[in-house]
Structure 1
Amino acid sequence: MPETAPPRPIRPAATVVLLRHGAGGPQVLMGQRGSAAAFLPSKYVFPGGAVEEGDAAVALAGPLPAVCAARLAGAVPGPETLAAAAIRELFEETGLALGRPGAWPGAAPAGWQDFAARGLLPVADGMHFLFRAITPPGRPRRFDARFFLVDAAAVAGDLDDFSVASDELSHLHWIGLSEARALDLPFITEVVLAEVGGWLRDGPSVAGVPFFDNSGAEPRFRRLL
């Protein structure tokens, strides 16, 4: 009998849904993954990625909001590490920094040197835990991703300056929620866009954070209170 391939590891990940309010209405920041990418090739996504080792060593100058931290209680890695990963990924992929001026208490950990060189400390007090999803089995890579909604007013600097962004995402641009739905999106990104629309219309859900749990053989949907 053929050998059964071991299950792919599920890596913790964090994503930022950056929101700004323009004259034409609310917009989110999106970019396109490369056609040769192992995960979601050519799809338009929000900035984000896997948690890295250095994220656990980052001290946040502004902590997560209490309700956000409470809903992430028990998360592995911890809430602060997930927030740090989201901030780092946003900076790497777009060049936009969620930070405020300040001196680092010591040497910046791996992956954070360029952020620290800006003279900024990472802040998470404007981050709101919006959504969680685990990638279904059978995909080339699997993630346990937390999505954070952030008002772009928390960004230090020019919101249209992507000059120091990495090449992981191309076609970085701000786009209205309805226009974004016409892009080539992963299913989960469509769902997250709907959550953003509901947040703008009704405010944070009192029913908790939606969670698409594909960790097992059968997908489950539940809410994190």
Structure 2
Amino acid sequence: MDGISKADLDRLEAREMAKGPAPLRPRDAATLILLDRKGDDVLVLMGRRHMKHAFMPGKFVFPGGRTDPADSRIKVAEELHPDEQDKLRAGTGRVSVARARAIALSAVRETYEEAGLLIGRRGPFSTTKADWQGFAEHGVAPALGCLRFIARAVTPPGRVRRFDTRFLSAWRSDVAVELPQGGPTNELEELIWLPLADAMQADIPAITQSVLGDLRQRLAVDPGLQPGGEVPFYRMLAQHFRRDIL
């Protein structure tokens, strides 16, 4: 995707273009790429967005959503690895420790809400925050030490929604509880585990395809996804979409 022009990207993602002329400021968001191994294949969890959604209707995506700053105050069983925290704070904009923590926790929360998967450790957990009551009810303390920062992407100008999205990953073995009925929000029409190569051929946004390509290359040399790996950063500069490394 490095070097693609804004006009070319607009044609690829025409359905996501905003009708109004006013530019939108990107908002923090996080998404979780949950991985599993089956033989020689690496599987990735994806879900299809409802057609009624204004942002990326009908596309296969990872669980995720907008970051809630209040998530930074949630107690966890294990904090972010220091190398991952440093990576989350790198790049453009001022990212505090609390903001980086909120971004990571929002990925964990959204994965529960959209997929019914609780990442953490079995044990007592209590909170007054309504969005985290599912963890308390199922006896799971959220954990961040398993998360790896995979990519960052800022939605180009002119879209219906604009996000500064951090793509994080974890393994299925990091899930303490899998709810058979899925998550409580029902934002995704279906959830499927796809081999990485098949996921790249699905109906996915252009940026998702690029991130999956980056992830496949990283797994080839770092199958365990060690902390502190290189993180591609996608953004629009001077009418071209650039790929830098954090």
Partner deviation per Cα, 1:49-84 (whole Å, 9 max, x = no partner): 101243122122211122111112252662211111
Identity of aligned residues (%): 35
**1:34 aligned partner, one-letter code:** H
1:111-190 alignment, distance < 5 Å: 111-158=131-178, 161-190=180-209
Unaligned runs of 5+ in 2: 1-19
> What is the distance in 2 between the residues matched to 1:14 and 1:58?
16
Deviates further, 205-214 or 95-104? 205-214
Q: Is the 1:60–1:84 contact (alpha carbons within 8 Å) kept by the matching residues of 2?
A: no
> What is the distance in 2 between the residues matched to 1:56 and 1:184?
33
1:15-34 alignment, distance < 5 Å: 15-23=31-39, 25-34=41-50
1:129 to 1:163, Cα distance in 2 relative to 1, 3 A: closer
1:40-79 alignment, distance < 5 Å: 40-73=56-89, 74-75=94-95, 78-79=99-100
**1:85 aligned partner, one-letter code:** S
1:219 to 1:200, Cα distance in 2 relative to 1, 3 A: closer
Partner of 2:109: 88
Unaligned runs of 5+ in 1: none
Partner deviation per Cα, 1:103-144 (whole Å, 9 max, x = no partner): 23x533231112221111110111000100000001000000
1:208-223 alignment, distance < 5 Å: 208-214=230-236, 218-223=240-245
**Higher share in helix:** 2
> What is the distance in 1 between the residues matched to 2:61 and 2:209?
10
> What is the distance in 1 between the residues matched to 2:123 and 2:229?
37
TM-score (normalised: structure 2): 0.81
Q: How many residues matched? A: 219
1:54 to 1:118, Cα distance in 2 relative to 1, 3 A: farther
TM-score (normalised: structure 1): 0.88
1:221 to 1:182, Cα distance in 2 relative to 1, 3 A: closer
User: What is the root-mean-square deviation of aligned Cα atoms in Å?
Assistant: 2.2
Q: Is the 1:135–1:215 contact (alpha carbons within 8 Å) kept by the matching residues of 2?
A: no
1:58 to 1:43, Cα distance in 2 relative to 1, 3 A: same
> What is the distance in 2 between the residues matched to 1:215 and 1:82?
24
Q: Is the 2:44–2:196 contact (alpha carbons within 8 Å) kept by the matching residues of 1?
A: yes
> What is the distance in 2 between the residues matched to 1:211 and 1:152?
25
